[in-house]
Chains A and B, each alone.
Chain A
């Protein structure tokens, strides 16, 4: 009788425990190297899409700054515009989903961090398996660091959770001081550095070359985070922007990491062409630049709102009838570049292009858009020929490039030693030389005193990283955002009025050449609508007044009294009627001056508020700070 009973009970147990077929338990997922890899891909996936770097973090959050402005119009929309204008309340619905997705990425990383080192293959697998699992573990640590870093950049103190939620006895976590989190992730990255291979070594663990995290990524990210840890941030306790007295400790970490990277130029170095980074690799849907300049990028595709990006559709130039252009280049930024700096024409696009790729239409000075994700540059595939408006173009977001390493190296060393070394100057010069088509003689003179060098870097980073979501956060860690916004506002007003000077030289960074800010700048720009070519501009070499590029007159000289002749068609003598307003244009006021960062308040706007529902759902979170 008893055996029958036992049998009966066992078969009952079996009957009510069928195998759940469509979901994998962690035991299955972390049972093989192949599936463990998919779990890490899942952790990467939270970087992508509308609530990741697809649009919100990359294009809503980093503005307004002295380089660019978020979605235009003077609408108070309790949405993306209010983020850019610093007119934020805790009820802005664009806050919660981004924070939620970042924590989703943290949880997915936490699961990998928990399970991967516990896999039997981690310690007793083949060399290849162990190598791959170490890489996966290191990647997970790095991803978690990136998610926390982005949270801290935007919100300051946030709850910190280091184990998967299923093992968490209390889900209602209070905020953790950002320094504690920073220290934790800096330490994690130190561990991760020794787990992941260099870019050229991924084959040793059986991996193809792709956009996954490598040793260079970890080191560069650690340097960046260290600079933020040592930089200024808005503190809840004091209510003001401040930095710790031990900040140099962290500059030293950044310097050390950058030094390591500079010693391995075989792994990561500058691509010879600034333009190629964007045109050939990013817009060419080619993730593998041979130089390894792109050290960390978010790989997006699949045309879904959870895996792709809206890069090039939300921002960027108009192509055919299809818009974009939600982000605006500040006219003041346009004139921060010297006339020979190739980064100006990669970053700033004052025109739109017809679908024939040749007919162009110049834009007024208040309608310059960013151009690194440029529809007409797209290849593999090209931008669709149909007059259609795809939401997603499969474009990747760039988190970090090698030029950042060079500039961080110089900045950290200058800070640590109180003056730049020859190596620091060389590093900055390398970045600027590339930006001047490799012609070092065109690089503006680099000061060798502490302050001058620092200000030079403040400008150089602005010129190098336009529209890469670097600027606002740099200004915050330097505690220069207030100055930058105020001076930009004043200069915008000057430009709108065109008197007496186009711009005052900025106090917080090195000024551009005098010809960029003089009252001589043109009030009208003529352009050749059927100019056939890429995006070359008027230059003195082509002859004044007789444009062979898009523009028919100089960007730095007063417009000619008489309209120039369209010389794109040989023998043509008709004068150009295609022209746009430039300096002194009232559009500068309506587009920028009256609305640019209008609600910015020092010691308030440097961080975002927590969303009201986030606080309601977690009473332990605590309330909002910083006057929100």
Chain B
């Protein structure tokens, strides 16, 4: 089907291209008037037509033009004054262009229309395909990271296809998604980042202030990202074929340092001495726990499980083939992309195929039409390192913590039943990761079909009607199969279980606008543009969930999914009930925009949008979002005529509002749903009940009010451009899924109660540092500062949020949402090392059963707080925390703010160089001032899980037995509980330099604490690319127009103080309240890529 479609389009395209007029060939060179350097990518067009081309790297161009001597050629290049040259009969042109920074004529999409950047009053960041070409990656999110001022992108983990969090100008929403609105070629596409190949992108424009986003009123408050895909161009019927391909390998960027076999055995021995539980040390020592046998493990080679599991050289390949071309009337672009990428973790793979076809036709003088078809399919295989939402099914634990060597007789891939049995019942069993991985089968498939079309009709002079219609179907199928080693099968009679989740989101989007545009309105000095429009937007979200248990043992996952009927509950057991849901959401909008520009100096723009959404109740459906913006192009004033400093100076101010409705639809109405059965006579009697969220009939649109003050400056004839934006955003009537008192019977209610503020500063600096014939150096730098503040939470002043990294219901919350604080505020106890011998009263002690003990450690001295969270008897070396409320007890009341997940500033620095035919780019991005909750570290330094390996930092821990003799140094006797030990001096002699406490053996290791909070600041060498473009002379012989080869390294190095795999991580994303948790994240990799760009 896909192939046929492709073929049809090709035929169609070629047919149109065949319709050609009489032509002739011209050629020429375009150079800079002052430097005499060739101008690359200067546009050459025939005036009044869409015939045109661009100059190549040597400033040369070739163009087939209509054989009409009266035609005029127009030469255009950013930063230069346009030049016009009569065609006459010349066939060769040498054109020198005068630089003019006043002509910043880059075109920027602003929603339902485009404007020249010089006339733009709002805050918009843009990026083009030129910036993206140096980043050969399959992930658009990764490609954009750090490149756009005011846009913070966090890719959640290192798995191929991992989702990303995108926040534009900080977090407005508290409990709801902060994701911006994505518009692709005029159509809303929520999953744009995963269904569009970076190679297909022409430009991305990010609307940041409310005045800019107001035209998208609904849902615009998180910012709007407008993506324009590559279309065809008038090439006079010549078809351009571009082929881009790269292959690469990825390697684990960093390993966590864990104990070696000897260190591990010593830790297990000390755990045995501490707890008396010999079940693990028994395995490694002769009966009687002979300490001497431990010595034999010194120097024993270990197994580096991280290397076994993550160590592969993961191969990836991407091929992108595009055909484009067109005539004056017809343009098309067809692009096919194939991505294949292995993850560094065994069994984890990512495959994606994309097809993008764009077609535009000028039907007659008044009417043009276009359509666009996009298809993508994506398959992600493998269970990764974790299933979000619980600690039970955590592969990373096994990979990091599985004992670092094998007991005799077992090979690397053998199952170790004794070890497996060492942690019964708590879901923390140790399983050989090589075995567990295939027992936990996951496959996620997604495919998208998107068809959209548009017509533009010029009704009368200056008045244009435009209609866009889009239909998008997004299908997902998630398969999970848990074989007998998996914890889920363990609790279901040791029989495999499977879940099959299918989802479908269909989106229909139709917008109709009418535009009056008069460049000489009333008098010649003013231009006026008025747009009015209307839009339908509807989504229909369906999902089906089937969970089946009790599959016969021994099936492959494929066999199981092909024969779901094999799941059969034994007598007395029941299969879970399948569930489904279907949620339609409709939005109707009306909008209008008026722009007036006077004398190219004063720009005024007014926008208003009204949105009616089915998400809100009968009287609350409509929201109105007006905005105003103004700009003053100071550079055009007469008094600026005689200065040489500025080549551009524009002051912009905007004030406006936009809305957000991203809450669970129909939350205004009480709603009964299924899943609350009551098992009368052991059969589930259907039970309906409301969910955990109380309805709220008064729900209405959240409103963002945003002020933006911007300054665009150009220096040295436009060679240096600086854009500065300052903003102050306040979100009111904030939609919060607010915690309500438990006497209501619900846990939360959507309310319009809160308010958040974001204030920030953004700088974008672009410099054309050196521009000469053989060498050029361009640099662009952006940095964004944002300060988020929760201004109000309605009747509440604070509520807590639990990331649930360990278990979603138990344990204290690790985040707090509090007025005056930021979103993502980490909350917990402050570590204070461990109890020292001097913290205890001591008394002489003698006991013939424990002749080594000389001292009894009695109670804690005054002023030393008692740890109420410790589940074991407090003794020297027990983990200690600060008693912040000075009540003598360390408990939940001593929790405080211990970190912030939001960075103080983020940014990027891109340097591009060109020397003759060589090009090079170096891109760094950075984050500063955020913290990461390294919950891996809490788990990987605890001994709750018996027999699990520890991080090597815990070699420097407090020990309870003498590492040289294995004798007790201290011990807790029960009945009555008594702490005995050697003298404080002897204890200190062994442990005095210990950096860490005795590894925690109780569940309190999961307690939120500052030990887990680490500085997440980093500077990353995100990308270095070196390319070589073959000279044209050579290419001509091969009928090639461009041939470039390159090598690239992605994620080459990170400067950070963070001790985990990577500071850029966020793995507990079920709630937006808990960003920045690093628990069982898929480690990031370092990638080396080599590729080609070929054009015919």
Chain A interface residues (CB < 8 Å from chain B): 12, 15-26, 28-29, 35, 38-39, 41-46, 48, 74-79, 89, 91, 93, 96-97, 99-100, 103-108, 110-111, 158-161, 164-166, 168, 171-173, 208, 210-212, 285, 287-288, 299-304, 306-308, 323, 380-382, 384, 386-391, 394, 586, 589-590, 594, 612-614, 616-618, 620-621
User: By DSSP majority rule, is chain A's interface helix, strand, loop, or mixed?
Assistant: loop
Contact at A302–B586, with CB atoms within 8 Å?
Answer: no
Contact at A384–B493, with CB atoms within 8 Å?
Answer: yes
Residue interface bits B660-675, CB-to-A below 8 A is 1, else 0: 0000011001111100
Q: Does B743 contact A (CB under 8 A)?
A: yes
Task: Specify the chain B residue showing the minimal Cβ separation from A50.
Answer: B809
- Docked pose: A388 CA to B485 CA in angstroms: 12
Which of A93, A103, A172, A211 is B745 in contact with, Cβ under 8 Å?
A103
- Docked pose: A366 CA to B1033 CA in angstroms: 94
**Least Cβ–Cβ distance between A448 and chain B, in angstroms:** 44
Measured between beta carbons, the chain A residues less than 8 angstroms from B747 are 100
Contact at A45–B574, with CB atoms within 8 Å?
Answer: no
Which of B425, B670, B870 is A166 in contact with, Cβ under 8 Å?
B670
Supposing A16-B613, A621-B741 touch, asked if A302 and B684 sit within 8 A by C-beta, the answer is: yes
Measured between beta carbons, the chain B residues less than 8 angstroms from A210 are 680-681
Task: Specify the chain B residue showing the minimal Cβ separation from A103.
Answer: B745
Measured between beta carbons, the chain B residues less than 8 angstroms from A594 are 974-977
Contact at B688–A107, with CB atoms within 8 Å?
Answer: no
Measured between beta carbons, the chain A residues less than 8 angstroms from B695 are 166
Contact at A104–B745, with CB atoms within 8 Å?
Answer: yes
- Docked pose: A617 CA to B536 CA in angstroms: 40
Contact at A91–B679, with CB atoms within 8 Å?
Answer: no
Measured between beta carbons, the chain B residues less than 8 angstroms from A103 are 742-745
- A–B pairs, 17, beta carbons within 8 Å: A22-B583, A23-B669, A24-B688, A25-B672, A42-B676, A42-B678, A45-B676, A45-B689, A48-B679, A77-B1003, A97-B809, A107-B744, A158-B743, A159-B741, A173-B743, A389-B424, A391-B491
Supposing A173-B743, A590-B975 touch, asked if A77 and B871 sit within 8 A by C-beta, the answer is: yes
Which of A29, A41, A46, A614 is B677 in contact with, Cβ under 8 Å?
A41
- Docked pose: A606 CA to B520 CA in angstroms: 86
Measured between beta carbons, the chain A residues less than 8 angstroms from B521 are none
Supposing A48-B678, A302-B576, A391-B491 touch, asked if A15 and B536 sit within 8 A by C-beta, the answer is: yes
Question: Which stretch, B351-359, B406-414, B795-803, touches the partner chain A?
Answer: B795-803
Measured between beta carbons, the chain B residues less than 8 angstroms from A18 are 538, 584-586, 614
Which of B490, B621, B678, B891 is A299 in contact with, Cβ under 8 Å?
B678
Cβ-closest 8 pairs across A and B: A107-B745, A381-B572, A42-B689, A301-B679, A23-B671, A618-B741, A41-B687, A159-B743
Measured between beta carbons, the chain A residues less than 8 angstroms from B686 are 38, 41
Contact at A589–B975, with CB atoms within 8 Å?
Answer: yes
Contact at A303–B574, with CB atoms within 8 Å?
Answer: yes
**Least Cβ–Cβ distance between B278 and chain A, in angstroms:** 17
- Name B395-436 residues within 8 Å CB distance of A: 424-425
Task: Specify the chain A residue showing the minimal Cβ separation from B685.
Answer: A41
Contact at A301–B574, with CB atoms within 8 Å?
Answer: yes
Q: Does B690 contact A (CB under 8 A)?
A: yes
Task: Specify the chain B residue showing the minimal Cβ separation from A172.
Answer: B741
**Least Cβ–Cβ distance between A130 and chain B, in angstroms:** 21
Residue interface bits B811-824, CB-to-A below 8 A is 1, else 0: 11100000000000
Q: Does B443 contact A (CB under 8 A)?
A: no
Contact at B694–A165, with CB atoms within 8 Å?
Answer: yes
- Docked pose: A212 CA to B678 CA in angstroms: 10
- Docked pose: A208 CA to B745 CA in angstroms: 30
Task: Specify the chain B residue showing the minimal Cβ separation from A611.
Answer: B742
Q: Knowing that A44-B687, A299-B679 touch, tell me 16 more A-B residue pairs with CB under 8 angstroms.
A: A17-B614, A21-B582, A24-B673, A38-B685, A38-B688, A45-B678, A75-B872, A76-B871, A105-B745, A302-B574, A307-B676, A380-B682, A388-B492, A389-B424, A594-B977, A616-B798
Contact at A617–B425, with CB atoms within 8 Å?
Answer: no
Which of B572, B688, B692, B892 is A41 in contact with, Cβ under 8 Å?
B688
Contact at B677–A302, with CB atoms within 8 Å?
Answer: yes
**Least Cβ–Cβ distance between A350 and chain B, in angstroms:** 22
Q: Does B86 contact A (CB under 8 A)?
A: no
Q: Does B868 contact A (CB under 8 A)?
A: yes
**Least Cβ–Cβ distance between A604 and chain B, in angstroms:** 17
Measured between beta carbons, the chain B residues less than 8 angstroms from A386 are 493-494
Contact at A45–B742, with CB atoms within 8 Å?
Answer: no
Which of A97, A388, A613 is B494 in contact with, Cβ under 8 Å?
A388
Which of A20, A78, A111, A159 is B1004 in contact with, Cβ under 8 Å?
A78
Contact at A389–B491, with CB atoms within 8 Å?
Answer: yes
- Docked pose: A35 CA to B585 CA in angstroms: 26
**Least Cβ–Cβ distance between B391 and chain A, in angstroms:** 16
Measured between beta carbons, the chain A residues less than 8 angstroms from B697 are 166
Q: Does B505 contact A (CB under 8 A)?
A: no
Supposing A20-B583, A103-B745, A388-B490 touch, asked if A25 and B676 sit within 8 A by C-beta, the answer is: no
Measured between beta carbons, the chain A residues less than 8 angstroms from B994 are none
Contact at B742–A100, with CB atoms within 8 Å?
Answer: yes
With most chain B CB atoms within 10 A of its CB, the pick from A75, A287, A301 is: A301
Residue interface bits B886-917, CB-to-A below 8 A is 1, else 0: 00000111000000000000000000000000
**Least Cβ–Cβ distance between A435 and chain B, in angstroms:** 28
**Least Cβ–Cβ distance between A450 and chain B, in angstroms:** 41
Contact at A171–B741, with CB atoms within 8 Å?
Answer: yes
Measured between beta carbons, the chain A residues less than 8 angstroms from B1004 are 77-78
Measured between beta carbons, the chain B residues less than 8 angstroms from A172 are 741, 795
Which of B492, B584, B614, B975 is A303 in contact with, Cβ under 8 Å?
B492
Contact at A41–B670, with CB atoms within 8 Å?
Answer: no
Which of A35, A387, A612 is B892 in contact with, Cβ under 8 Å?
A612
Contact at A617–B742, with CB atoms within 8 Å?
Answer: yes
Contact at B492–A390, with CB atoms within 8 Å?
Answer: yes
Task: Specify the chain B residue showing the minimal Cβ separation from A112.
Answer: B689
Measured between beta carbons, the chain A residues less than 8 angstroms from B572 are 285, 380-382, 394
Contact at A22–B677, with CB atoms within 8 Å?
Answer: no
Supposing A96-B742, A100-B742 touch, asked if A287 and B680 sit within 8 A by C-beta, the answer is: yes
Q: Does B1035 contact A (CB under 8 A)?
A: no
Contact at A381–B690, with CB atoms within 8 Å?
Answer: no
Measured between beta carbons, the chain A residues less than 8 angstroms from B570 are 381, 384
- Docked pose: A22 CA to B674 CA in angstroms: 9
Which of A24, A74, A171 is B974 in contact with, Cβ under 8 Å?
A74
Contact at B678–A17, with CB atoms within 8 Å?
Answer: no
Measured between beta carbons, the chain B residues less than 8 angstroms from A285 are 572, 682
Measured between beta carbons, the chain B residues less than 8 angstroms from A105 are 745
- Docked pose: A45 CA to B686 CA in angstroms: 10
Q: Does B587 contact A (CB under 8 A)?
A: yes
- Docked pose: A161 CA to B673 CA in angstroms: 23
- Docked pose: A18 CA to B613 CA in angstroms: 10
Q: Does B612 contact A (CB under 8 A)?
A: yes
Which of B677, B740, B798, B893 is A45 in contact with, Cβ under 8 Å?
B677
Contact at B678–A394, with CB atoms within 8 Å?
Answer: no
Measured between beta carbons, the chain B residues less than 8 angstroms from A389 are 424-425, 490-491
Measured between beta carbons, the chain A residues less than 8 angstroms from B749 are 171
Residue interface bits B964-993, CB-to-A below 8 A is 1, else 0: 000000000011110000000000000000
- Docked pose: A616 CA to B742 CA in angstroms: 11
Which of A38, A300, A308, A614 is B687 in contact with, Cβ under 8 Å?
A38
Supposing A107-B746, A617-B796, A618-B743 touch, asked if A25 and B670 sit within 8 A by C-beta, the answer is: yes
Measured between beta carbons, the chain B residues less than 8 angstroms from A97 are 809
Measured between beta carbons, the chain B residues less than 8 angstroms from A586 are 975
Contact at B584–A26, with CB atoms within 8 Å?
Answer: no
- Docked pose: A405 CA to B839 CA in angstroms: 58
Task: Specify the chain B residue showing the minimal Cβ separation from A105.
Answer: B745
Supposing A41-B685, A45-B689, A302-B684 touch, asked if A17 and B618 sit within 8 A by C-beta, the answer is: yes
- Docked pose: A572 CA to B1057 CA in angstroms: 74
Measured between beta carbons, the chain B residues less than 8 angstroms from A620 are 741
Task: Specify the chain A residue showing the minimal Cβ separation from B695.
Answer: A166
- Docked pose: A96 CA to B1004 CA in angstroms: 18
Which of A19, A42, A48, A381 is B571 in contact with, Cβ under 8 Å?
A381
